[in-house]
Amino acid sequence: MNAKYEAVIGLEVHSQIKTDTKVFCNCSTDFHSQPNTNICPVCTGQPGVLPVLNKKAVELLVRTGLALECRINKKSVFARKQYFYPDLPKNYQISQYDLPFAEHGKLNISVDGGVKTIGITRIHLEEDAGKLVHDIGMKKLDYSLADYNRTGIPLMEIVSEPDMRTPQDAAAYLTALKSLIEYLETSDCNMEEGKFRCDANVSIRPVGQKEFGTKAELKNMNTISGVEEALVYEIQRQIEVVENGGKIVQETRTWDPDEKVTKSMRSKENAHDYRYFPDPDLVPVILDDDFINKIKKDIPELPEKRKQRLISECGLSQYDANVIISDKALADYYETALETASKQSDNSGKQIANWITTELLGKLNSAKLTIKESPVKAENLGTLVALIIKGTISGKIAKMVFEDMFNDGKDPDTVVKEKGLVQISDEGAIVAICKEAVAESPKIVEEYKAGKERAIGAIVGLVMKKSKGKANPQMVNKILIDLLKQ
């Protein structure tokens, strides 16, 4: 980025609240249903119907708001946002305007080894719109198809303050927010299913200037890295416009992930006038301290705290701890493995983290599996590490065992037994092999006795070969030194 300018970025995240039913009717929120099977007179806006609020949606939003250190408003009101669009059968969206459920929160993010605090302006509850289909397979249609299954599904819109200055800040914020929500289990955050969507407001200004520049709103980024890429492009575009004497126009731009550019979406409808007003069909929501405290008590350990605990209690490095807590399922996996290992051996925390970050994640990645789909169960990884620590198998053998565990889903004890991989730690047995090896290597023994201590390595190698890698290497070393003294 040109050093003369800095960017100002604020993000709006729409996250689908994890309820079984829609926000104002009893229709299912199931993503995989056939088109237009989860619809009813309420969500399709038939005349004379009345919406009734889903209490669970409010509870989950408040839970999210509390975790983001928001103030929960005692009184909240729903408002109608009015516009015409075929994905909105009522011609208005039920949302919130001046009295949202939560306001004035914050979220800490880690960037470049430091910590930044990003303000949360507000979190409000609103209903999702339907899904429009513009083509079938490769065929472009000359009309559009509407599926109202998604219409009325509860969303929490989380609006940040314009506190981010770089695309990396934005990516770190989204990663931290997504991870927090996954810990809270208030949304699935499945980006492919559109359950965690992000729009970005971005402007540039000369470094040192207090006032904001004119912003553009970016849409259609479907991944966190997409948001980052779109921001990098858009910031550069705005700098070029200004450097060439042009002016930034306030507009909505769409990210084209194939061409890697943002494109203006200017249309006749761009001058929106939503005419918000309180929805007369829905009475205000009053949340008392009891309601809020009950939810507060139920909030689980959050990622930041869990990270600190893994560092102090399990001896993990910042880096390993960051990798492991970034995904709740992964952190749960780690702790399950650790629990299993701890029953069998001590000090396995760091080794388990190593196995996860260096072996397991790479393998899962190339097999396109998530941690929940891992063929190696957490308990089995814990047992494997315990086997190494106890000296039952060597680290080298463990890699072979892990390979079999990943490919066949077997537990380590079975693999070790089936293949006869148990490390030989029986002194008598090792002494016997060592004696054999010494007898077979008179020249090396001579060299060793003449003072070339390194020569012993060749005999150790022979012992390992004879034992098919199963002899305990530390014991072999010690026994050989004793034998050669005689």
Q: Tokens for 278? A: 């309180």
Smallest separation (angstroms) from other proteins to the CB of 469: 57
3-state secondary structure of 115: strand
Choice from 115, 207, 249, 283 touching other proteins (CB under 8 A): 283
Q: Do residues 61 and 173 make contact, with C-beta atoms less than 8 angstroms apart?
A: no
Between 20 and 418, CB nearer to other proteins? 20
Q: Tell me the residue length of the chain.
A: 486
Give the interface segment with other proteins, choosing from 15-23, 110-118, 166-174, 236-244 (CB under 8 A): 15-23
Q: Widest CA span of the chain, in angstroms?
A: 103
When asked if residue 61 is in the footprint of other proteins (CB under 8 A), the reply is no
When asked if residue 398 is in the footprint of other proteins (CB under 8 A), the reply is no
Smallest separation (angstroms) from other proteins to the CB of 259: 16
Smallest separation (angstroms) from other proteins to the CB of 60: 10
Q: Tokens for 265? A: 């979406």
Smallest separation (angstroms) from other proteins to the CB of 338: 35
CB neighbour list of residue 344: distance below 8 Å, 6 or more residues apart: 382, 383, 386, 390
Smallest separation (angstroms) from other proteins to the CB of 10: 17
Choice from 2, 8, 21, 106 touching other proteins (CB under 8 A): 21
Residue 45, CB-side half-sphere exposure with 13 Å CA sphere: 15
Between 19 and 467, CB nearer to other proteins? 19
Angstrom CA distances, 24 to 27, 95, 127, stand at 9, 11, 8
Choice from 12, 69, 87, 332 touching other proteins (CB under 8 A): 87
CB neighbour list of residue 62: distance below 8 Å, 6 or more residues apart: 72, 101, 102, 287, 291, 292, 295
Give the interface segment with other proteins, choosing from 34-42, 180-188, 242-250, 309-317 (CB under 8 A): 34-42
Q: Measure the CA–CA gap between 341 and 353, rounded to whole angstroms.
A: 12
Give the interface segment with other proteins, choosing from 30-38, 337-345, 369-377, 393-401 (CB under 8 A): 30-38
Pick out residues in 241-280 that bind other proteins (CB under 8 A): 252, 254, 265, 267, 269, 273, 275, 278, 280
When asked if residue 161 is in the footprint of other proteins (CB under 8 A), the reply is no
Choice from 9, 102, 230, 285 touching other proteins (CB under 8 A): 285
Q: Tokens for 422? A: 């148990």
Site string for other proteins, 191-230 (x = CB under 8 A): ----------------------------x-----------
Let me know if 474 is exposed, middle or buried by CB neighbors in 10 A (0-12, 13-18, 19+).
Answer: exposed
Choice from 4, 85, 249, 312 touching other proteins (CB under 8 A): 85
Closest CA to 378 of 359, 400, 356, 401: 356
Give the interface segment with other proteins, choosing from 140-148, 243-251, 292-300, 427-435 (CB under 8 A): 140-148
Angle at 14 between CA 172 and CA 285, to 5 degrees: 125
Q: Measure the CA–CA gap between 73 and 92, rounded to whole angstroms.
A: 24
Closest CA to 359 of 322, 336, 384: 384
Angle at 151 between CA 150 and CA 157, to 5 degrees: 85
Q: Do residues 62 and 101 make contact, with C-beta atoms less than 8 angstroms apart?
A: yes
When asked if residue 129 is in the footprint of other proteins (CB under 8 A), the reply is yes
Q: Tokens for 226? A: 């997409």
3-state secondary structure of 267: coil
Site string for other proteins, 411-450 (x = CB under 8 A): ----------------------------------------
Smallest separation (angstroms) from other proteins to the CB of 408: 40
Choice from 8, 49, 111, 145 touching other proteins (CB under 8 A): 145
Smallest separation (angstroms) from other proteins to the CB of 265: 5
Q: What is the contact surface with other proteins in residues (CB under 8 A)?
A: 19-21, 26-28, 34-41, 44, 46, 52-58, 77, 82-87, 93, 129, 132-134, 141-148, 219, 252, 254, 265, 267, 269, 273, 275, 278, 280, 282-286
